[in-house]
Structure 1
């Protein structure tokens, strides 16, 4: 089994990265933070025109006709850029909800205790009556809490595909925080030397890279096999890589990483919110343990 992206897949990924660099660079990211959870509808439509949401629809249905591995690559790029919005729900609704594939309709899903982007959504899948707006740890992800959540161990599941695409977003964030940590370690100096020359900082960066590459292998393999247990394992590794990687990146940055001007804390906050999306980590661990 060859899990390396093909040239066409790499070109697809580059195309989305170029679009996001142009339309959602750092200035746009900061503007989105300042806007406090206002969805950029023009960007959403651009994503639709680029085939982001219709990627897996058949060509005769107006889609791109590609598969889950290609979707994982695009969601990895979205996670790297901290692209806001109910991306997973809208992508999965393409072909089922009119306008979702084209980016004209924003879709979110109420399938757990928390609902993302409820106020911005045109269509809400699942019961969301009585949901109350709460303060989100992530300024780029507005949240509502449902009045009745599933009992512990009985969380509603958004499905294996949703979990895998969320894992891909986490993978993209883990890769980006690794890049940020290494870049900062090369340029920040203490005692007349780059901090990357110090063993403790080297260990932090190496640990981030190992977590990210382990998660990458698991996510890419699960995208090829679509096996529910492999998806559960990939999700566990990706959540760990994103959350722990952002924490380690903060350590590399030192006090600078905790300032509002740095982007590192945004990756950590988004990773926390994503980790709470869908089935709990304990449920995924039980699924993997049962297979073993």
Structure 2
């Protein structure tokens, strides 16, 4: 089957399988580029203050809205080098446009009140955040402060030990096996979702992709409760990509990161219209 799919893709033949395969493999390629880029280092600010407070690789999720009234979301993986420098790859959706797995660099410093100021270079310009880091959980949360959006930022560790749980050191499709509940905010005004999904942990599709099934409780009047189905693949750095079909619609992009305890996810569902939905998921079983 995989050879048939490749032949159809090469010849421009459009089938539901080729569309799904193209969508999933495109995201996986972006994710592979991201994983490779994580090994790079960024140049920290010359005046570094308290950079060692925050160190390691983190899954990041920014969600909120721009002052122009559109959704604003960022997800991906960033590495804090312990010397006030940060680098990584993220997907960004802002004002109806999407940039998938782009390089991000920045700097951070510890303030006198022990909060941390973070500055990131992104496509629409430099964005700044004030965050609070919890060494007990190895996590950080905060808010955007540059005045262009009302957004929160959530950082989950991917390499640090979390409470009494041993860190996950090898990520693969089996890492996500189980059932997950995810609270999501959408770019569409007034819409919030509950994704309740089961991930099978396999590589049964083309030897690479596992299966996602479940329901999406969409709290906007015209949708209600809709089925979810799709594929995913996990990379060794704890990022994942794939595609989801929601309410029978054309497959959407599905990309995110896994926390080091393997029990929390951050992901975006990327819509064909360019709107991104941001989700934080907890393992149910």
Same fold (TM over 0.5): no
Q: TM-score, normalised by structure 1?
A: 0.27
Q: Relative to total residues, which structure has the larger strand share, 1 or 2?
A: 2
Q: TM-score, normalised by structure 2?
A: 0.27
